[in-house]
Structure 1
Amino acid sequence: MGWNSFDAYDCRINEEEFRGVVDFMADNLLEYGWEYAVIDYIWWHPEPGNWDTPRRKGHPNLRYKSPGEPLYPEYTTHDEYGRLIPSVERFPSSANGQGFKPIADYVHSKGMKFGIHIMRGVHRYAAFQDLPIKGTDYTLKQIAEPWDTCAWCNHMWGVDPTKPGAQEYYNSLFELYADWGVDFIKADDTMYPPYHEGEIAMMRKAIENCGRPIVLSLSCGEAPLGQADHLKANANMWRISADYWDKWESLEHNFDLLNVWAPHARPGAWPDADMIPIGKISLDDRPHGPERMTKFTKDEQLTMMTLWSIAQSPLMLGNDMLDVDDFTLSLITNPEVLAVNQNGNDARQIFERNGQRFWISTDKETGDKFIALFNLNEEEKELAFDLEWDYLRDAYTLRDLWKRKDMGTVKGKVKAKLPAHGAALYRLSKVQ
């Protein structure tokens, strides 16, 4: 559970803004379990996205000569081993070789955890300079694959996992992140076709070698289902969706994705339905469309939070935390709903028909059942969850978790009249 800067700030967040978000989270959200604060991509650039591209306003591509030499090398900050370091212009506390350690220390002082985004591979300018790999006689040019460049962000070249020095390069990266006090790495361009099995495995081994527990989150999706075993063995969370924004069609699609991935969820390894686009997003009209409050209706937002919670997706917010309305706060500070996400077990879609979806999971602490009813139709419907679907044949106390209200005793079926695109979430406790 946490927050990532991408949905609101794109690649442009600075230290003052980030510390402000951390302060807000510590004061208002930490008690509910929101503990990770993550700086997303291109933090090594002093002015990322300071020009427009045809693809997207402020897209942070850089312009390079064919061998990898940038037209503006002053925009890239790295150390003598080609490891990217924060831009001091945006993150002043990183001066004098401190990197992200002062910010990580600040986050930790608030009782929270700190994360950063990285792109798979080696920066092409570092490879162009043929810088040494720390602790070896190899160089970055020897392990870099110039043909293997991210399709949507052109800074990095892939690393050939068969080459001597490749693992040592990744070891040096995660050694640096551990020294900074990083708790969470969002590693991007790892699953975008093709699936980069070798580099993912090198990251996992580097984490094991670095001496610090670090969550490994893989982007972007859709993750290939055929790689489920490899993902569970190497990552703590992996994106099962493409970039997810505030469109009803995308939310509908995530019902299908979470359904097929549900059997592969387990403690420490979670299918990730992506960040939650509620509240205010796309500040200054980027990264995705105009600056706005989410286009999801209130019913759709409740449906999204219900699905992410019962399906046990990681919960990563992406909204502008410095401008939060009361409704958004109500969605993310309901402890009974969040308990479904944190305490559920064996979550699965149990039945589907006529635009109606039904999910169930078990409270691993009490044995209570959590059930969710979803109306994906365009009009109001009465839904009925048949408890026989899971052989629940006793009488149960029914509690509405969004309303935080006991609803009496039920047996046989749980019924609810739901608005279009609406949801309900309940706890069932066996009557003793």
Structure 2
Amino acid sequence: MIRIPFLSFLCFALLVAHTAASGREMPSPYPAPEPGVRLTPPESPAPLINEPRLFGATPGAPIQMSISASGKRPMSFAAAKLPPGLKLDRETGVITGRISRPGTYSFPVQASNSHGKTTGTMTVRIGKEICLTPPMGWSSWYSYSGGVSQENILKTARLMVESGLAQYGYSYVNIDDCWQGSRGGKYRAIQPNKRFPDMKSMCREIHRLGLKAGIYSTPWMGTYAGYMGGTSPNSQGDYSSLALPENKRPQPDQLFGGCPGSQRLGAAKIGPVWMVSQDAKQWAEWGFDYVKMDWYLIDVPSTERISADLKKSGRDIVLSVSNSTPFEIAGPISKTANVWRTTGDIEDHWGSLKKIASSQEKWQPYAGPGHWNDPDMLQIGRLGKVGKANTTFQPTRLTPDEQYFQMSFWAMISAPLIISCDLEHLDDFTRGILCNREVIAVNQTFHGPSEKVLAQDGCEVWIKPLGEGRTAVGFFNTGNERQTVKVPLSLLKLKSPQHVRDVWKQENAGTARQEMNVQLNPHGAALFLLEGKK
């Protein structure tokens, strides 16, 4: 199995921890934070290289990767011993090119600004696997939803850069449902509706910003939102035998009406003519890097067929399958898809978050580089109404503690970090949740699956190996009252003493000798990084 190396910046942080924490004990109990407070420290103006630093591509495929570095702009970038076939844009930190020969290529990189410079190492693996770290990015479904357009996708892409999210590894800008028009073009593939006048130029602009583009479809004849899918009743791609009359469609290209229109009209099934292969060629030609294929029940033969079509498209395209993958097929799905939904659709309330979190333990052995469990999108920030053509957004219904819970839990289980919020009005608290480089590092580092080691009185403790003697430990309170959780180091599979770092606060918490004793707010979480004596 490919091991994702841990961060050099955290190595430095833990070196400091050895000195600062060795002389004091970790408080017992370690206090819960004041509710609603931003725990992430202010961002440093000095350059810091963030995750991801590991990228995968197939031989000869186009490569685009970025040196994700936070700090004051302008910033300049450098790379020594760059593999033949790759080139670096020194102003943006974007690396592009192709590598034909399989292998692992590691090379040093540098980021510099008026406050100093920093160095790190990036790695490209050329082989059969792509998507070597959990995808990070944005999706349109919980924001623009039914009103998604080329204009607001490009607006979001620019905001990803301007807001600094791209500096922390968020790279995918994904169109969800509602982009589809009619079939046509040289492949008789799905063409976009009038809200997307030029898909190819849109993808080119997203790439120019150092980001990647994603799109949505289904192997059904009709999508959940009532647009045409990847199969057809006939070879002409003519859906008129199933579609609503034009005067009864909510939008002109919404052939089957709003959800559950496709189910009601018989389009929510795989049709007699498979056209995903044609669509895949079109996506590749446009320049897409990611596709979400959405249907129920997810099945292995269809997934394998979609995967084969993408591999023949001429471009590396991440395959995300959605939704509610049957656990009985976790084995074969985890060998075929890059991302698979382990749940139904998430909602921005505690009941939904708690239910999803409680169902993830059994899935953990199937995660690994190139293949990730997906408990659905982060419900953080200002959101729209699902299925509506939103122009205004409301704050998530998750409390601040519940937002810390979700981000901490998703980090611990190596879940994709896909946000869907309005980026134009990103407040300081939300930015602190999304842009904590040490929390993101826990998410992006993989040396083995996460494991739940304690469950009592509504609280859980999870561990995740991070390599080189380091372990992430997550504490989670699913109850409605403040709780104090005691866990012996032996249950964490660790020896005494352990140097403890509070990952959210990015500060050293002291030394744990026999146990950890942590206070948690209702629906709250705490996330720590532990390292034993060298």
Q: Which residue of 1 aligns with 2:201?
A: 102
Tell me, yes or no, if the aligned pair for 1:264 and 1:271 is still in contact at 8 Å.
Answer: yes
Q: Say which SS state the counterpart of residue 257 (structure 1) adopts.
A: coil
Residue 198 (structure 1) shift: 2.7
Tell me, yes or no, if the aligned pair for 2:489 and 2:516 is still in contact at 8 Å.
Answer: yes
Separation in structure 1 between the aligned mates of residue 196 and residue 314 of structure 2, nearest angstrom: 26
Q: Say which SS state the counterpart of residue 190 (structure 2) adopts.
A: coil
Cα separation, partners in 2 of 1:411 and 1:316, compared to 1, 3 Å: same
Choose which of 72, 91, 98 in structure 1 pairs with 2:196: 91
Choose which of 461, 465, 478 in structure 2 pairs with 1:358: 461
Worse overlay, 5-14 or 294-303 = 5-14
Amino acid at match of 1:183: D
Q: Which residue of 2 aligns with 1:311?
A: 413
Cα separation, partners in 2 of 1:357 and 1:11, compared to 1, 3 Å: same
Q: Which residue of 2 aligns with 1:121?
A: 220
Q: Which residue of 2 aligns with 1:179?
A: 285
Q: Say which SS state the counterpart of residue 207 (structure 1) adopts.
A: helix
Choose which of 280, 287, 291 in structure 1 pairs with 2:382: 280
Amino acid at match of 1:40: D
Tell me, yes or no, if the aligned pair for 1:373 and 1:385 is still in contact at 8 Å.
Answer: no
Choose which of 19, 25, 43 in structure 1 pairs with 2:154: 19
Q: Which residue of 2 aligns with 1:35?
A: 171
Tell me, yes or no, if the aligned pair for 2:319 and 2:338 is still in contact at 8 Å.
Answer: yes
Cα separation, partners in 2 of 1:80 and 1:124, compared to 1, 3 Å: farther
Residue 308 (structure 1) shift: 0.5
Residue 424 (structure 1) shift: 0.4
Cα deviation, 1:312-335, whole Å, max 9, x if unaligned, reads: 111100111122111110001000
Choose which of 347, 354, 359 in structure 2 pairs with 1:252: 354
Tell me, yes or no, if the aligned pair for 2:469 and 2:532 is still in contact at 8 Å.
Answer: no
Residue 377 (structure 1) shift: 1.4
Separation in structure 2 between the aligned mates of residue 202 and residue 350 of structure 1, nearest angstrom: 38
Tell me, yes or no, if the aligned pair for 2:212 and 2:289 is still in contact at 8 Å.
Answer: yes
Amino acid at match of 2:310: I
Q: Say which SS state the counterpart of residue 354 (structure 2) adopts.
A: helix
Separation in structure 2 between the aligned mates of residue 302 and residue 310 of structure 1, nearest angstrom: 12
Aligned residues: 373
Which structure has greater helix proportion?
1
Residue 349 (structure 1) shift: 1.3
Tell me, yes or no, if the aligned pair for 1:11 and 1:40 is still in contact at 8 Å.
Answer: no
Q: Which residue of 2 aligns with 1:73?
A: none
Amino acid at match of 1:204: S
Residues 1:131 and 2:236 aligned together: yes
Q: Which residue of 2 aligns with 1:197?
A: 300
Q: Which has the higher contact order (CA 8 A, sep 6+)?
A: 2
The percent identity for this pair of structures is 28
Tell me, yes or no, if the aligned pair for 1:183 and 1:213 is still in contact at 8 Å.
Answer: yes
Separation in structure 2 between the aligned mates of residue 319 and residue 125 of structure 1, nearest angstrom: 28
Cα deviation, 1:116-172, whole Å, max 9, x if unaligned, reads: 01122344899467417xxxxxxx89xx999xx998352856446xx7x74xx3322
Tell me, yes or no, if the aligned pair for 2:137 and 2:171 is still in contact at 8 Å.
Answer: yes
Separation in structure 2 between the aligned mates of residue 151 and residue 278 of structure 1, nearest angstrom: 24
Q: Say which SS state the counterpart of residue 420 (structure 1) adopts.
A: coil
Separation in structure 1 between the aligned mates of residue 436 and residue 343 of structure 2, nearest angstrom: 25
Tell me, yes or no, if the aligned pair for 1:145 and 1:157 is still in contact at 8 Å.
Answer: no
Separation in structure 1 between the aligned mates of residue 381 and residue 352 of structure 2, nearest angstrom: 17
Residue 78 (structure 1) shift: 4.0
Residues 1:380 and 2:482 aligned together: yes
Residue 215 (structure 1) shift: 0.5
TM-score of the two chains, using structure 1 as the length reference: 0.80
Residue 201 (structure 1) shift: 1.6
Tell me, yes or no, if the aligned pair for 1:6 and 1:287 is still in contact at 8 Å.
Answer: no
Tell me, yes or no, if the aligned pair for 1:82 and 1:126 is still in contact at 8 Å.
Answer: no
Residue 43 (structure 1) shift: 0.3
Residues 1:411 and 2:513 aligned together: yes
Cα separation, partners in 2 of 1:12 and 1:78, compared to 1, 3 Å: farther
Cα deviation, 1:327-370, whole Å, max 9, x if unaligned, reads: 11000100000001001332121211110101100113x33100
Q: Which residue of 1 aligns with 2:315?
A: 212
Cα deviation, 1:288-317, whole Å, max 9, x if unaligned, reads: 9x9521111101100110000001111100
TM-score of the two chains, using structure 2 as the length reference: 0.65
Tell me, yes or no, if the aligned pair for 2:382 and 2:421 is still in contact at 8 Å.
Answer: yes
Cα separation, partners in 2 of 1:284 and 1:121, compared to 1, 3 Å: closer
Tell me, yes or no, if the aligned pair for 1:80 and 1:131 is still in contact at 8 Å.
Answer: no
Separation in structure 2 between the aligned mates of residue 250 and residue 284 of structure 1, nearest angstrom: 15
Tell me, yes or no, if the aligned pair for 2:379 and 2:396 is still in contact at 8 Å.
Answer: yes
Q: Which residue of 2 aligns with 1:97?
A: none
RMSD over aligned Cα atoms: 2.7
Residue 18 (structure 1) shift: 1.1
Residue 277 (structure 1) shift: 1.2
Tell me, yes or no, if the aligned pair for 2:148 and 2:178 is still in contact at 8 Å.
Answer: no
Residues 1:112 and 2:211 aligned together: yes
Tell me, yes or no, if the aligned pair for 2:338 and 2:370 is still in contact at 8 Å.
Answer: yes
Choose which of 129, 138, 142 in structure 2 pairs with 1:7: 142
Amino acid at match of 1:24: L
Tell me, yes or no, if the aligned pair for 2:438 and 2:506 is still in contact at 8 Å.
Answer: yes
Residues 1:347 and 2:453 aligned together: no
Cα deviation, 1:20-55, whole Å, max 9, x if unaligned, reads: 11011123111111010001112024xxxxxxxxxx
Q: Say which SS state the counterpart of residue 309 (structure 1) adopts.
A: helix
Worse overlay, 276-285 or 391-400 = 276-285
Separation in structure 2 between the aligned mates of residue 373 and residue 401 of structure 1, nearest angstrom: 12
Q: Say which SS state the counterpart of residue 278 (structure 2) adopts.
A: helix
Cα separation, partners in 2 of 1:304 and 1:2, compared to 1, 3 Å: same
Residues 1:152 and 2:294 aligned together: no
Residue 286 (structure 1) shift: 3.7
Q: Say which SS state the counterpart of residue 296 (structure 1) adopts.
A: coil
Residue 267 (structure 1) shift: 1.2
